Amino acid sequence: MINKKKHMNGRENGQTNVQSHCKLARKRLFGPSSSEKERSSWLFSRTGIALESPWIQQHISTCPRCQKRFSALGKVTMSLNLIKSQSHDLGLLKRANTSAVNVLKHDLRESETAEWLKIALPTPALGQRMRAISHSLYQTAACIAILVLSKINVFSSIDHLQKQGQTTVRHFYDSQLGTDLSDDLFPDV
Amino acid sequence: MTIFGQTLSRELGTTQDLDQVDRSQKWVLSAMDKHGSDLVTLLWRMLGNEQDVCDVYQTTFLRLAHIEKKQKPKHIKAYLFRTASNTAISLFRTRASEKKRITQAPCDVMSPSTPDQEISQKQLVGTLRTYISQLPSHLRDVVALRDLAELPYGQVARVLGITPGTARVYRCKAITLLAAWMNKNDK
């Protein structure tokens, strides 16, 4: 009887554990995160999935309900990405502008801006344009930073500071423990 | 201008005296210049048809030009994106119901999916577009602005007049709902 009770308790605990894992996984997969760290991973994942946690992966591999949820979420994400990946014709903006300008009043239609809009082509944002050369730009910036730091003697100042610090500590040990011990502790200073 | 555009022009009373439009309406053109590209991208992703994109784009700027009292709205971007999104959804729904009526067959979404169809990108995209159009308006707006127009949460919140946190929550609800509908469709 006692064994049966224990077994039942164990089963209930197991179920509760799985349910809480389900809830946590659901929160992680669908819900907005509260903490700043989670929020950043949420932002980076774009879909709200923070899959890097091993427990999520372990749980999904064993829980059929979460598997279903995850596959459905994956389908939504894939469809959204498919929509985004289909680019429109380059002349679409031109055509849309022309059709919109044509229904505006006469003096607007005849203005220079309108003429320019009729031949306008979509230009990617500055961030996107810079993405191609961003890597080399970062490298150049890092080199320049190192050059500037060495030019203004930051590195030698750090060395100097370190030596001064060691000397101060040695003086302290000299006064507290005596010269013999401090010689052993700081042979270089 | 196509039939859809003409209907809307009639609704808006464009045949009225166009000369009454304020002279300072050059801001319409500058708004077109500033937000046109993003708007076309959003509409293309929502509709997936070039002619429809042109129609909705035209309607959006027509509405902006004939806005009440002919005055520049406070937040032009919000006005443009919301008008475009709403017009696109109503056009999408009209197209879907027309298609349903003509073919007298159930909509693509309701058809049983086979493994071949599952692979079909077109069907997936079509299904998602249909489901997005069926979302409640507050969730749909967030999905349209965040996922299709790729605006940051801050801007989405500003356009919709909500906080960024609320925008995040709405997006989560929308994605959950879309995932559940996708799951249902599979069954």
- What ipTM did this prediction achieve? 0.74
B107 has pLDDT over 70: no
The structure tokens 């919000």 sit at B78
Q: How confident is the model at residue B158 (pLDDT cuts 50, 70, 90)?
A: very high
Whether A75 and B61 lie within 8 Å, measured CB to CB? no
Phi-psi region of A120 (alpha: psi -120 to 50; beta: other; left: phi over 0): beta
The reported pLDDT for the residue numbered B17 is 41
Which has the minimum average pLDDT: A19-33, A122-136, A165-179, B7-21? B7-21
Asked if the C-beta of B187 comes within 8 angstroms of chain A's C-beta atoms, the answer is no
The reported pLDDT for the residue numbered B70 is 67
Whether B32 and A123 lie within 8 Å, measured CB to CB? no
Residues 6+ apart with CB under 8 A from B89: B46, B133, B140
Average pLDDT over every residue of B32-57: 91
Q: What is the 3-state secondary structure (H, E, C) of B77-131?
A: HHHHHHHHHHHHHHHHHHHHHHHHHHHCCCCHHHCCCCHHHHHCHHHHHHHHHHH
The reported pLDDT for the residue numbered B80 is 92
Whole-number Å distance between alpha carbons of A24 and A141: 42
Whether A92 and B50 lie within 8 Å, measured CB to CB? yes
Q: Residues B122-135: pLDDT tens digits?
A: 888 888 898 999 99
Q: Does A123 or B155 have the greater pLDDT score? A: B155
Is the CA virtual torsion B172, B173, B175, B176 positive or negative? positive
The structure tokens 């700081």 sit at A186
The reported pLDDT for the residue numbered A189 is 65
Which of A112-126, B74-88, B93-107 shows the highest mean pLDDT?
B74-88
The reported pLDDT for the residue numbered B20 is 44
B73 has pLDDT over 60: yes
Residues 6+ apart with CB under 8 A from A104: A114, B25, B28, B29, B61, B65
Which of B29, B113, B153 is the best residue to mutate to test the A interface, defined by the most A CB atoms within 10 Å of its own CB? B29
Closest approach of A141 to chain B, Cα-based (Å): 27
Phi-psi region of B136 (alpha: psi -120 to 50; beta: other; left: phi over 0): beta
Q: How far, rounded to the nearest angstrom, does the alpha carbon of residue A126 sit from its chain's CA centroid? A: 20
Closest Cα in chain A to B19: A105
Q: Residues A47-89: pLDDT tens digits?
A: 444 566 677 777 878 888 888 888 888 888 888 998 988 888 8
B140 has pLDDT over 90: yes
Q: How far, rounded to the nearest angstrom, does the alpha carbon of residue A42 sit from its chain's CA centroid? A: 8
The reported pLDDT for the residue numbered A20 is 66
pLDDT over 70 for what percent of chain B? 76
Of B21, B33, B172, the CB nearest to A48: B172
Whole-number Å distance between alpha carbons of B151 and B171: 13
Query: Angle of helix B50-65 relative to helix B26-47, nearest 10 degrees?
Result: 150
Of B50, B55, B150, the CB nearest to A88: B50
Asked if the C-beta of B119 comes within 8 angstroms of chain A's C-beta atoms, the answer is no
Which of A39, A44, A83 is the best residue to mutate to test the B interface, defined by the most B CB atoms within 10 Å of its own CB? A83
